């Protein structure tokens, strides 16, 4: 099963990444649960509940098969929009009937949403090796309202080894956003990779930063 993860991570470009997720989409959730031992609900849900009101307009960035949307919907969030680069994954997400809109978009490229469109953005399992780049944050900030939140998971090892550390710090230095909370690292795939941890970040979009962007 690890070979499938490496196969996805080794994609040479977004087109190949999308095609591989298309092929994996129908068995993706089953593999996560049975073979990887992924949590039945990620800690990102509780941190979203902590900061984001139930009537919020939320963008689920990198929605995949819609697990994040399902978890949030179960907690009373009904105004959810999902995007993903894989049409196969989006087709699975649509079956859950929890999103008001699902669209194919690629993180790291311009997003087809107006400025200040969402109260919050969630991104679970999206920022990792060979996936959405750190410049994805620029567009996510643009489409999030002043005082809104971007809540995402990040591998601590990937944070240290990639350009994400510099990007996150730079955005804070520019006062475009502010780190509010970091959740405790947790084992993400205990059955497959016992040393793989994820950590949830809660970022608030600063008013000053939005003025700078405009």
Structure confidence by residue, pLDDT tens digits, 135-145: 999 999 999 99
> Residue 87 half-sphere exposure, CB side, CA atoms within 13 Å?
3
The answer to whether 179 and 203 are in contact (CB under 8 A) is yes
**DSSP calls for 66-81:** SHHHHHHHHTT---EE
pLDDT in tens, 17-43: 656 665 665 565 565 665 565 667 889
Neighbours of 132 (CB within 10 A): 22
The answer to whether 75 and 49 are in contact (CB under 8 A) is yes
Q: Return the pLDDT at 37.
A: 56
Q: C-alpha dihedral over 90, 99, 184, 50, to 10 degrees?
A: 170
Confidence band of 103 (pLDDT split at 50, 70, 90): very high
CATH number, residue 178: 3.40.50.150
- Residue 2 scores a pLDDT above 80: no
Domain count, the chain: 1
> Which residues span the domain enclosing 173?
2-213
What does the alpha-carbon distance between residue 86 and residue 16 come to, in Å, rounded to a whole number? Answer: 10
Confidence band of 206 (pLDDT split at 50, 70, 90): confident
Residues in a beta bridge with 153: 200
pTM of the model: 0.86
What does the alpha-carbon distance between residue 141 and residue 204 come to, in Å, rounded to a whole number? Answer: 9
């Amino acid at each position: 099963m690890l070979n499938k993860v490496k196969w996805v991570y080794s994609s040479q470009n977004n087109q190949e990444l999308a095609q591989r997720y298309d092929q994996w989409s129908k068995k993706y959730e089953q593999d996560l649960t049975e073979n990887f031992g992924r949590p039945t609900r990620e800690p990102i849900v509780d941190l979203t509940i902590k900061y984001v009101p139930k009537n919020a307009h939320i963008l689920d960035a990198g929605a995949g098969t819609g697990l994040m949307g399902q978890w949030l919907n179960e907690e009373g969030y009904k105004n959810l929009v999902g995007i993903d680069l894989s049409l196969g994954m989006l087709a699975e997400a649509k079956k859950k009937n929890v999103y008001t809109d699902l669209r194919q978009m690629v993180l790291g490229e311009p997003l087809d949403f107006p400025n200040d469109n969402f109260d919050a953005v969630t991104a679970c399992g999206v920022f990792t090796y060979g996936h959405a780049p750190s410049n994805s944050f620029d567009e996510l900030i643009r489409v999030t309202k002043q005082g809104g939140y971007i809540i995402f998971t990040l591998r601590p090892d990937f944070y240290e080894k990639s350009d994400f550390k510099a990007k996150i710090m730079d955005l804070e230095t520019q006062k475009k956003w502010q780190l509010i909370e970091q959740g405790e690292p947790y084992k993400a795939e205990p059955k497959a990779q016992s040393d793989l941890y994820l950590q949830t970040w809660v970022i608030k979009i600063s008013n000053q930063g939005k003025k700078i962007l405009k």
